[in-house]
Amino acid sequence: MNGDIIKASVADNLDIPKEVLMNIPVITVSGKDEMTIENFKDIRDFSEEHITINTKISKVKLTGTGLEISYLTKETLTVKGCFKTLEFG
């Protein structure tokens, strides 16, 4: 944890993006039907109604209908569908 505090302080002081230094997730939501998440850890749960993704800071839970993973690589995951809620924790 101490390491993270130091990294956050370095990132703040040197104006370096936090996601690069601390490996925290970057979540981009376009409208109601596309979400891209970078720096994710793993997928906990996946169905057409919900998807739960583990990240370094917390779990990200997305609910909706017709969810599908349109793109999956080591670091990036893109979900498409009709979104209802997005929760952290």
Partner 1 sequence: MRISVTGFAKERFLNLLSANDIFAWDIVNTGGKLMLSVSISGLRKLRPILRKTHCRFRIISKHGLPYFIYRHKKRTVFVFGAFMFLVLVFAMSQFIWLIEINGNFFLTDTELIQFCKNNGVYTGMYKHNIDTDILKTKIRQNYPQISWISIVQNGTRLLIEISENSGDTVIAGDAGPLDVISARDCIVTKIIAQNGTPAVNVGDTVKKGDVLIRSVFDTLDENGQPAPLSPARSSGIVRGKWRCRVCADIPYKANIKAFTGKRDVFLSLELFGIDFNTNFIKNDTKFKNYDIIKRNIQLCIGADYPLPAVIKKTVYAEYVPKQVVYTEEKARQAAETALNKKLFAVLPQSCDILDKKVDFTYSGELVTAAAELLLEDDIGVNTGGIAINGTNEASDRQ
Q: Which residues bind partner 1 (CB under 8 A)?
A: 42-48, 68-74, 77
Name which of 71 and 88 has its Cβ closer to partner 1.
71
Q: Are 11 and 17 in contact (CB under 8 A)?
A: yes
Query: CB neighbours (10 Å) of residue 13?
Result: 8
Q: How far is the CB of 59 from partner 1 (least distance, A)?
A: 13
Name which of 2 and 73 has its Cβ closer to partner 1.
73
Q: How far is the CB of 84 from partner 1 (least distance, A)?
A: 17
Name which of 12 and 48 has its Cβ closer to partner 1.
48
DSSP 8-class letter at 60: E
Rg over CA atoms, the chain: 14
How far apart CA 70 and CA 27 sit, in angstroms, is: 15
Q: How far is the CB of 8 from partner 1 (least distance, A)?
A: 27
